[in-house]
Amino acid sequence: MTADKWFGIVSLFPEMFAPFTQQGVIGRAVKSGTLAVETFNPRDYTHDRHRTVDDRPYGGGPGMLMMVKPLTDAITAARQAAGENSKVIYLSPQGKKLDQAGVARLADNDRMILICGRYEGIDERVIESHVDEEVSIGDYVLSGGELPAMVLMDSVARLVPGVLGHKASAVEDSFTDGLLDCPHYTRPEVLDGRSVPSVLLSGDHEKIRQWRQKQALGRTWQRRPELLNHLALTEEQQRLLEEFKSQLQR
Ligand SMILES: Nc1nonc1C(=O)N[C@@H]1CC[C@H](O)C1
């Protein structure tokens, strides 16, 4: 396994990952060998005629759980494929909310196994025995853990050196510095009567940097003020934010 980052996906719907691993930034990284993705389908570890992968919950109630044995056999196969030092992550609404800081922390792991729940989820004892971390992508209920797994893979992969063509684009992404992103503009210069901010046409890179930082600070203050509570703003950032606020009052 020579890839910089290897993902082992435990999922009943591995075909959901084909478009994701064959297109765009991730597709190129897989093609170049920087990323490797292997899938492990619990259904391949069934032995009954109906290839059963779900089971009824103790205590009754609606819904089903993922059947334990095919799931744990698939997890075991993924761990064997990963070799040493793999991190096992279960995607679930009960997990720690994923944010950019969490993405950066997870990106330190070269080998991650992502367990994608279906139905009402998985037996708690499987979590206790096999899972290192439960991760949630948000407070809403999806039909499966596959989309959360792709969200995690995409956000982590973008931090892997060489995955993004132009390194700056990862640096300037939203949340990399804890702030929302500034507004962006491209051709034409006037669109529906709205012009591109003149500073962006000035060619003055320092003024442009300051304008972008001011917009990011101001937008964060307006839309997600709680994010500022976790940041120690530099003197320049404090000045730029005050300028943004005073310009609003004019
Ligand atoms: N939000 C989330 N962040 O990570 N995973 C989810 C999520 O809704 N998972 C589903 C819950 C039941 C089903 O098994 C899969």
Handedness of CA 92, 98, 103, 109 (dihedral sign): negative
> Residue 249's pLDDT is what?
87
139 burial via Cβ count (<10 Å: 0-12, 13-18, 19+): exposed
> Residue 243's pLDDT is what?
98
Q: Ligand 1 pocket, 8 CB below 6 A?
A: no
- The owner of tokens 């009402």 is 120
Catalytic sites, residue numbers:
93, 120, 158, 173
Query: Does 145 appear as a known binding residue?
Result: no
Q: Ligand 1 pocket, 33 CB below 6 A?
A: no
Query: Does 138 appear as a known binding residue?
Result: yes
Instruction: Collect the ranges in the chain with pLDDT lower than 50.
Output: none
pTM passes above 0.90? yes
Contact 91, 142 (CB under 8 A): no
> Residue 175's pLDDT is what?
74
How many angstroms does the Cα of residue 43 sit away from the middle of ligand 1? 20
> Residue 211's pLDDT is what?
98
Contact 130, 88 (CB under 8 A): yes
> Residue 165's pLDDT is what?
79
Could you tell me which of 91, 76, 152, 155 has the C-alpha nearest to residue 121?
91
* H-helix or E-strand spanning residue 116: strand 111-116
Phi, psi of 163 (to 5 degrees): -75, -40
Of ligand 1's listed atoms, the one at least distance from the Cα of 144 is 15
> Residue 192's pLDDT is what?
98
> Residue 2's pLDDT is what?
80
Specify the long-range contacts of residues 219-225, CB closer than 8 Å, at least 24 apart.
219/179, 219/180, 219/181, 219/182, 219/183, 220/179, 220/180, 221/245, 223/180, 224/180
